[in-house]
Structure 1
Amino acid sequence: MALLRSARFPALLLLIAAVVGLVLANTPLADAAFAVKDAYLGVPGVFEMSVGHWIQDGLLAVFFFVAAVELQFELTNGQLASPKRAVLPAIAATGGVLVPIAVYLAIAGGSDAASGWPIPTATDIAFALGVLAVFGRGLPSGVRVFLLALAILDDIVGIVFIAVLFTSDVDFGMLLLAVVALAVFAVCSRILDTRARGAAVIGLIVSSLVTWYAVYQSGVHATIAGVALGLAMAQHPAMRALHALEPWVNGLVLPLFALSAALVVIPAVPARELSPAFWGALVALPIGKLVGIAVAGGIAQRMLRVPAPAALTMGDLLAAGALGGIGFTVSLLLSELAFAGAPGIRDQATLGVLAGSAISLVLAAMLVSWRAWHHRRTTAQTRDS
Structure 2
Amino acid sequence: MNLLRSARFPAVVLLCAAALGLVIANSPLGTATQALMGTYLGIPGVFELSIQHWIADGLLAIFFFVVAVELKYELTAGQLDTPRKAIQPAIAAAGGVIVPIVIFAVIAGGSDAARGWPIPTATDIAFALGVLAVFGRGLPSGVRIFLLALAILDDVVGIVFIAVLFTTDVNIGLLIAGALLVVVFAVLSRFLGTKARVPVFIALVVVAIAAWVAVYLSGVHATIAGVALGLAMVQKPALVVRHVIEPWVNAVVLPLFAFAAALVVIPSVSPTELSPGFWGVLVALPVGKIIGITLFGWIAQRVARGETPPLAIGDLLAAGALGGIGFTVSLLLSELAFSAAPLLRDQATLGVLAGSAVSLVAAAILVSWRARAHRSIRRLQETS
TM score, norm. by length of structure 2 = 0.99
User: Offset at 1:304?
Assistant: 2.0
Q: Which amino acid aligns with 1:325?
A: G
Given that 2:289 and 2:321 are in contact with CA atoms closer than 8 Å, whether structure 1 keeps it comes out as yes
> How far apart are the structure 2 equivalents of 1:346 and 1:195?
50
User: Offset at 1:206?
Assistant: 1.5
SS of match in other structure, 1:268: coil
Corresponding position: 1:320 with 2:319: yes
Identity of aligned residues (%): 68
User: Offset at 1:46?
Assistant: 1.1
SS of match in other structure, 1:337: helix
SS of match in other structure, 1:41: strand
User: Offset at 1:201?
Assistant: 1.8
Corresponding position: 1:356 with 2:355: yes
User: Offset at 1:354?
Assistant: 0.2
> How far apart are the structure 2 equivalents of 1:33 and 1:359?
28
Q: Which amino acid aligns with 2:351?
A: G
Post-superposition CA distance 1:247-294 (Å, at most 9, x none):
000000000000000000000011101000100000000000000000
> How far apart are the structure 1 equivalents of 2:223 and 2:305?
39
Counterparts of residues 73-112 of structure 1 (less than 5 Å): 73-112=73-112
The equivalent residue for 1:44 is 44
Q: Which amino acid aligns with 1:376?
A: R
> How far apart are the structure 1 equivalents of 2:347 and 2:305?
43
Counterparts of residues 204-219 of structure 1 (less than 5 Å): 204-219=204-219
Post-superposition CA distance 1:2-23 (Å, at most 9, x none):
1110011111000000000000
User: Offset at 1:295?
Assistant: 0.1
Quick one: structure 1 residues 248 and 305, their matched pair in 2 at CA, closer, same or farther if it must change by over 3 Å?
Answer: closer
The equivalent residue for 1:68 is 68
The equivalent residue for 2:225 is 225
Corresponding position: 1:293 with 2:272: no
Q: Which amino acid aligns with 1:324?
A: G
User: Offset at 1:383?
Assistant: 1.0
> How far apart are the structure 2 equivalents of 1:294 and 1:201?
44
Given that 2:86 and 2:306 are in contact with CA atoms closer than 8 Å, whether structure 1 keeps it comes out as no
User: Offset at 1:105?
Assistant: 0.4
Q: Which amino acid aligns with 1:282?
A: L
Q: Which amino acid aligns with 2:132?
A: L
User: Offset at 1:196?
Assistant: 3.6
The equivalent residue for 2:254 is 254
Runs of 4+, deviation exceeding 6 Å: none
> How far apart are the structure 2 equivalents of 1:202 and 1:14?
31
Deviates more, 1:372-381 or 1:192-201: 192-201
Structure 2: tracts of 5 or more residues without a match: none
> How far apart are the structure 2 equivalents of 1:314 and 1:239?
35
Given that 1:184 and 1:203 are in contact with CA atoms closer than 8 Å, whether structure 2 keeps it comes out as no
Structure 1: tracts of 5 or more residues without a match: none
User: Offset at 1:303?
Assistant: 0.3
> How far apart are the structure 2 equivalents of 1:105 and 1:198?
52
SS of match in other structure, 2:41: strand
User: Offset at 1:305?
Assistant: 5.0
User: Offset at 1:198?
Assistant: 3.9
> How far apart are the structure 2 equivalents of 1:230 and 1:123?
20
The equivalent residue for 1:338 is 337
> How far apart are the structure 1 equivalents of 2:56 and 2:202?
26
User: Offset at 1:306?
Assistant: 6.2
Corresponding position: 1:379 with 2:371: no
SS of match in other structure, 1:112: coil
> How far apart are the structure 1 equivalents of 2:197 and 2:262?
42
The equivalent residue for 1:16 is 16
Quick one: structure 1 residues 43 and 306, their matched pair in 2 at CA, closer, same or farther if it must change by over 3 Å?
Answer: closer
User: Offset at 1:35?
Assistant: 1.1
RMSD: 1.0
The equivalent residue for 1:148 is 148
The equivalent residue for 1:200 is 200
TM score, norm. by length of structure 1 = 0.98
Post-superposition CA distance 1:155-180 (Å, at most 9, x none):
00000000000001000010011011
Deviates more, 1:356-365 or 1:29-38: 29-38
User: Offset at 1:199?
Assistant: 3.8
User: Offset at 1:65?
Assistant: 0.3
> How far apart are the structure 2 equivalents of 1:237 and 1:9?
25
Deviates more, 1:199-208 or 1:100-109: 199-208
